[in-house]
Amino acid sequence: MPDRRPRFAVLLLAVVGATLTGCPPMDEGHGRECEARDLFGRQPVPEPAKGDVVVLSGVTAADRDTAAAGDRKRGMAKVLNAALAARTSLRIAAVGASPSTSDLVATEDLGLTGVNPGACTILAARVRARIEASFDGLLSRSVDGPTDTLAALAALASHLDPAVATRGIDVIVMSNMVNSTPDLRLDDPVTLARVGANPEATLAALAASDRLAPCAGWRVYIVGPGRTPTGGLDAPSIANLHRFYDRLFERCGGQLWKFEQQALTSYPVPEPGPKPPRPPAPCATFVVSSGVYFDVGQAELRPGAEESLGSLHQFLRDNVDGKPGRLVQIAGYTDRDGDAMSNLRLSEQRAQTLMDVVLARGIEGQNVEAIGYGEPAMAEATEAEKARNRRVEVTVLCATA
């Protein structure tokens, strides 16, 4: 019979170097009777032992408000109950902002199957109390700056038994998920809109810089995403955050199993939750450098630009004319030079200018959308990248992917 015990993992985002020390060792007699290993000790274990469960929780100010902390403690109780019932192993790790920093807060073998049921009951109560104390201690810690979720996931991946790729493991991430990495802040609705519209482009940039860790076999529960110091992301931004992480875990080999905005309502769940709707699939895209149509810092068509519009009109004839139901999306982009808000307004105005050109051809207004994305989601590393970001894209959307 295959082993159907639930596999778990909960990872805890904490300040770099944060550890929980001073945990008293378990009574050795109870440990022998229940065939349980005491893995606590008074010093942090260098890395998690091979096992079934690891847990990750953010500890920024938004993560640690009263409501968030209460939701996480209740979620942790559900995980602990399930782990004890399954007699598996549970890891709680504190991972800092550096990929090389990973401090184990607690690790327990919950296979409490021994010759003395009474002793096992006592041991289970002690284990529960110690794990709850470990989690409470972690929630009480603070972080001065944003944590790095992607670095935390990479640190977790480096410590897990490679066998989880075939047997599977539950990774429960209790975090707002907006501090994905220093140069990709997902607490900005404009950035999220751009990432959500085309997550593959952002994921490709992250993969190129070696910031996507392997996650084969992971069943990922994301709990409490989108909380920010100002109260939280709006519904469209939450949807874009959901879409981004769904594609991220799919790309690295795992699966986003559950995405819950507030608390962990149940655990474990036998089937994954619904996937986020994907945006309509582009069937053709016309890209032109902003300098072809616009002068620097301007949103009106430059003199003589009308002559350059012939290729845009041909693109629309080929991909829109005579094809009912197709949508046209016009997106303006800038580089990171100058003020971010000014760049956003400029990109919106340039997109609107080209939208007027498209509408003048007779395309119905409800089928055309102009969006300004402003600066890129990821920082530019070269002048060539900056030049590519100074552009306008006209995309024909065919159907939902």
Q: Is residue 5 assigned to a domain? A: no
Burial per residue of 142-172, b for 16 or more beta-carbon CB atoms within 10 angstroms, e otherwise: ebeebbbbbbbbbbbbebbeeebbeebbbbb
**Which CATH number do you get for residue 53?**
3.40.50
Q: Is residue 266 assigned to a domain? A: no
Nearest to 173 by CA among 13, 25, 380: 13
Integer Cα distance of 291 and 247 in angstroms: 33
Q: What is the DSSP letter of 211?
A: -
Q: Is residue 272 assigned to a domain? A: no
397 beta partners: 282, 327
Q: Is residue 307 assigned to a domain? A: yes
**Do residues 251 and 298 both lie within one domain?**
no
**Do residues 43 and 149 both lie within one domain?**
yes
Which of 93-97, 270-274, 286-290, 396-400 is predicted least confidently? 93-97
Q: Which pTM was predicted?
A: 0.70
**Do residues 244 and 291 both lie within one domain?**
no
Count of domains observed in the chain: 2
**Do residues 254 and 325 both lie within one domain?**
no
What pLDDT digit, counting tens, does each position of 103-160 carry?
556 666 676 555 455 666 777 788 888 888 878 877 776 665 666 788 888 888 887 7
**Do residues 242 and 353 both lie within one domain?**
no
H or E segment and range at residue 76: helix 66-86
Q: What pLDDT sits at residue 399? A: 61
Q: Tell me if 156 sits within 8 A of 105, measured CB to CB.
A: no
**Do residues 239 and 185 both lie within one domain?**
yes
**Do residues 167 and 210 both lie within one domain?**
yes
Integer Cα distance of 239 and 233 in angstroms: 10
**Do residues 301 and 158 both lie within one domain?**
no
Q: In this structure, what token pair is assigned to residue 264? A: 């962990």
Q: Is the peptide bond before 46 cis (omega within 30 degrees of 0)?
A: no
Integer Cα distance of 32 and 26 in angstroms: 10
**Do residues 96 and 196 both lie within one domain?**
yes
3 state DSSP class of 310:
helix
3 state DSSP class of 129:
helix
What pLDDT digit, counting tens, does each position of 61-101 carry?
655 566 777 888 888 888 888 887 777 777 776 655 444 44
Percentage of residues in the chain with pLDDT exceeding 70?
A: 72
Name the pairing type of β-strands 327-333 and 255-260. Answer: unpaired
Q: Is residue 4 assigned to a domain? A: no
Q: Is residue 273 assigned to a domain? A: no
Domain that holds residue 228: 10-260
Sign of CA dihedral 142, 144, 150, 156: negative
Q: Which residue has the tokens 């032992």?
A: 49
Q: Which of 211, 230, 260 is the last residue of a domain?
A: 260
**Do residues 315 and 345 both lie within one domain?**
yes
Q: Is residue 21 assigned to a domain? A: yes
**Do residues 196 and 119 both lie within one domain?**
yes
What pLDDT digit, counting tens, does each position of 208-247 carry?
788 888 999 999 999 988 876 667 788 888 988 999 999 9
**Which CATH number do you get for residue 361?**
3.30.1330.60
**Do residues 162 and 292 both lie within one domain?**
no
Q: Tell me if 206 sits within 8 A of 181, measured CB to CB.
A: yes
Integer Cα distance of 249 and 59 in angstroms: 22
Q: How far apart are the first and last CA of the chain?
A: 38
Q: Is residue 337 assigned to a domain? A: yes
Name the pairing type of β-strands 89-95 and 102-109. Answer: antiparallel
Integer Cα distance of 329 and 319 in angstroms: 13
